[in-house]
A = this chain, B = another copy of it.
């Protein structure tokens, strides 16, 4: 699979609600979560403290959906890495509507539970569902000779 371009979203925030779990016809799980990020600043005109919260729809597929279902709940803090996806659908008046979500799926999708030193707490990357034949890290341990010599570090 090839791709042209980069489409990446990174979020760290807290869930506004428990995850909603669905299942696709194939049986695969889908988890919808809503994540808040916020910024606060002092309004220079009025001098008062202000805050703005942004809510993000995040949809997880596959094993990550299962992990979300099992371990995440309202208030959980998570790290999310996914991609933007805008879906077109029609409301009950038959009008086109667009919804943009952060899709966490397949390779490149990551969900890490933060903080909660409870339960198993372990993060997981969705691309890592078939670890069978993959060594996660380089075994190329020879001295970096020619590389070191050539390059003006």
User: Measuring CB to CB, which residues of chain A are less than 8 angstroms from any residue of chain B?
Assistant: 1-14, 16-17, 20, 22, 24, 30, 32, 34-42, 44, 52, 54-57, 59, 61, 77, 79, 81, 83-90, 95, 97-100, 102-103, 105-108, 110, 112, 114-117, 121-125, 127-128, 131-141, 143-144, 146-148, 150-153
Contact = CB atoms under 8 A, between A and B. Distances in A.
B112 A6 contact: yes
The DSSP consensus for interface residues of chain A is strand
Contacts of A95: 95
Contact of A86 (B2, B55, B133, B143): B55
Contacts of A89: 141, 143-144, 148
A108 B122 contact: no
A87 B41 CA distance: 20
B151 A17 contact: yes
Contacts of A147: 20, 22, 32, 57
Contact of A99 (B5, B30, B42, B148): B148
Task: In the A-B complex, list the 9 residue pairs whose CB atoms are closest, starting with the nearest.
Answer: A115-B115, A5-B37, A107-B127, A100-B100, A6-B12, A1-B128, A5-B13, A1-B41, A1-B131
B1 A11 contact: no
